[in-house]
């Protein structure tokens, strides 16, 4: 994907599970494109999601839409209800 960065997408679950998968991040839009994990789904609820860039910086991902990196506390996804 053009102008994207290879990174890791991590989700932290209430049952203690942590799932990390490869991801492409598009800085211009803030959109994340994680690969779907083939592992069994955790039984809890998602408590945190973030991407880790190659240099180690972590960026929080919206817990409402699960698709965009938060810009401060706002989600840049126009169809996300997170910032309403």
Contacts of 77 (CB under 8 A, 6+ apart): 30, 31, 62, 65, 67, 68
Interval 10-14 mean pLDDT:
95
Q: State the burial class of residue 84 (Cβ atoms within 10 Å of its Cβ: 0-12, 13-18, 19+).
A: exposed
How would residue 18 be classed by pLDDT, with cut points 50, 70 and 90? very high
What average pLDDT does range 59-70 have in this prediction?
95
- Name the pTM for this structure: 0.89
């Amino acid at each position: 994907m053009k102008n994207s960065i290879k990174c890791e997408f991590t989700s932290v679950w209430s049952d203690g599970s942590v799932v990390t998968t490869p991801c492409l991040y598009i800085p211009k839009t803030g959109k994340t494109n994680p690969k779907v994990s083939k592992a069994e789904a955790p039984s809890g609820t998602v408590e945190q999601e973030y991407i880790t860039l190659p240099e180690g910086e972590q960026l929080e991902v919206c817990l409402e839409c699960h698709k965009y990196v938060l810009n401060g506390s706002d989600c840049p996804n126009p169809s996300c209800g997170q910032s309403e």
